[in-house]
Amino acid sequence: MTPRTATASTRHTAAGSPAAASTKAAAVAGQGDLTPLGRLEALCDPGSLRLMRTAVLSPTLGDRATPGDGVLAGVGTVGGRSVAVFSEDPALLGGSLGARHAETIVRLLEMAGDAGMPVVGFISSAGARLQEGLEALAGYGRIFAALTRLSGRVPLISVVCGVCAGGGAYAPALTDVTIMTRRARMFLTGPGVVREVTGEDVSAEDLGGPDVQKKNGVCHLVADHDDDAVRMTRELLGFLPSHSGEEAPRARPVPAPAFDPSVHVPTEQRRGYDVRDVARAVVDGGRIMEISAAWAPSVVTALARIDGRTVGIVANQPKVMAGTLDAESGQKAARFVRWCHLFGVPLAVLVDTPGFMPGSEQEGGAVIRHGAKLVHAFAEADVPKVTVVLRKAFGGAQIAMNSRALGATLVLAWPSAQIGVMGPEQAVGIIERRQIAAADDPAAKKKELGAEYAAEHLTAVGAAQLGIVDEVIDPAATRDRLVWAFGSLRRPSASEQRARNFPI
């Protein structure tokens, strides 16, 4: 069928058309929520949306079949750049996926790959359509395969607006970013099946609502409603290139807030603070878009701009577990670093960590394996990677957080930063344990010896003399150094695809 523009004329169509189904879906939409067609129109630039496959019918549903088979798909522009979009319609059997429905999504994904354009899918589906049985399940398999082929080639964004159940929940998990609205629910098995199989009585919200999925890394961003989700999606697309091998669009540079970023950092090594305040002090307009804020919060991952250029920020968060890395934060940071690598986004790494979390729980949780993912991700990434050590960097975490030895493009440190194998008091507790035990006041002696050890072995100047740090800088000069680095040390993007952004 010839693609057509989604305008007022296409919405005033006969009952049973995609637009009529969208109107029916409006009956269940709440404040701030949109119809399936409304989501696409709100996302795309005015008048740019062209729909396709609006006449396809399910041969299985008979009189209940509706044109489009429960999904609207097409191509529009967002900020003047082409984007492939689709929106599932719960008005037809709960948005369940049938063979024609699946074919429409797969065709759109193939077009996106051929044209090198991002994909945004609005998900609201009860899962595979029971009336179509194995054909519906095979449809999901084809979608998963198509998403996997696109992974790392074009940005993939899922917006879950309603139920996302059964095998269909794997589709958002195969994309780069998943946004959930407050009324969205994601789970492999619904409350009824859970109750029947396990005896557990749980609500859909407690089983797979956004407050559950944002804490385990399934959901990256939570929107209050559809309008909010559309706003987030447009902002996210603005940070990203249309495809791998292309540079992200550069925005007009905006000054950072006019204050020294070190004002947010206590001199006392054990005092916590919010590293996001430091990040905001060095990025354009003080604005960051944090990704996966509620999952593994001891590390911050965010998108921002420095001198108009998109950068990915990876930062230890001292207000949570003192900025310690653990199994989950290793996974979170590794996937973000790899995503930036695949799409040519430079990395600014803000380091303030005492190390990896010790203990049997972490060892049993495979902290070695998950920490190795972060090491691998930074070592693999060939985008400009600039590290700034704010206050401390100890042990294996010092290496894992984009150290010079791991391949950092540039390592900077603030003058008061401590860098070494371990913290000073922990170090003297091992090498001076007898002297400490013999002291009249062991705690005071340990503190005294720790200060001496730090002054001799852990200074930023000492690390610079060894070549571990490239330059010790005034904190007030941090933004200026980052602007220079990302402007001068840019590397040409590779034209070929190097990897997939598989779920870590």
pLDDT above 80 for 233: yes
Is 232 in the same domain as 364? no
- Which position has the higher pLDDT, 487 or 28? 487
The Cα-based distances of 164 to 109, 125, 395 in angstroms read 19, 5, 42
**Is the separation of the CB atoms in 226 and 34 below 8 Å?**
yes
Position 503 in a domain: no
91 φ, ψ (degrees, to nearest 5):
-70, -25
- Rounded-to-integer distance, Cα 24 and Cα 442, Å: 75
Which pLDDT value is given to residue 45?
A: 98
Is 216 in the same domain as 301? no
- Output the domain CATH number for residue 388: 3.90.226.10
pLDDT above 90 for 491: no
Domain end, chosen from 209, 239, 269, is at: 239
Is 465 in the same domain as 434? no
Which pLDDT value is given to residue 120?
A: 98
- Which position has the higher pLDDT, 323 or 12? 323
pLDDT above 60 for 89: yes
Position 272 in a domain: yes
Is 143 in the same domain as 168? yes
Position 336 in a domain: yes
Position 500 in a domain: no
Q: Which tens digits make up the pLDDT trace of 357-373? A: 999 999 999 999 999 99
Which pLDDT value is given to residue 256?
A: 94
Which residue, 499, 487, 199, 188, is CA-closest to 343?
A: 499
Model pTM score: 0.90
Q: Which tens digits make up the pLDDT trace of 6-55? A: 443 333 333 344 444 444 444 344 557 899 999 999 999 999 999 999 99
Is 453 in the same domain as 385? no
Position 501 in a domain: no
**Is the separation of the CB atoms in 464 and 413 below 8 Å?**
yes
**Is the separation of the CB atoms in 240 and 248 below 8 Å?**
yes
- In total, how many domains does the chain have? 3
Position 244 in a domain: no
Is 148 in the same domain as 68? yes
- Rounded-to-integer distance, Cα 102 and Cα 157, Å: 17
- For the chain, percent of residues with pLDDT exceeding 90: 73
Catalytic residue, from 76, 139, 166, 423: name it: 166
Is 155 in the same domain as 270? no
pLDDT above 60 for 150: yes
Q: Which whole number is the average pLDDT over 299-316?
A: 98
Is 214 in the same domain as 347? no
- The yes-or-no answer on residue 286 being catalytic is no
Position 245 in a domain: no
Q: Which whole number is the average pLDDT over 308-316?
A: 98
pLDDT above 70 for 124: yes
Domain holding 480, by residue range, is 261-421+458-488
* Unique residue bearing structure tokens 């420095």: 306
Which residue, 218, 385, 187, 387, is CA-closest to 296?
A: 218
Position 255 in a domain: no
- Rounded-to-integer distance, Cα 474 and Cα 388, Å: 11
Residue 356 DSSP class:
B
- The yes-or-no answer on residue 396 being catalytic is yes
- Rounded-to-integer distance, Cα 200 and Cα 148, Å: 34
- The yes-or-no answer on residue 397 being catalytic is yes
Is 359 in the same domain as 443? no
pLDDT above 90 for 490: no
Is 339 in the same domain as 411? yes
Catalytic residue, from 84, 296, 397, 460: name it: 397
Is 83 in the same domain as 206? yes
The Cα-based distances of 419 to 263, 271, 397, 422, 426 in angstroms read 21, 17, 11, 8, 14
Is 63 in the same domain as 142? yes
241-250, 262-271, 443-452, 479-488: which range is least confident on average? 443-452
Catalytic residue, from 94, 167, 285, 308: name it: 167
Catalytic residue, from 308, 396, 429, 462: name it: 396
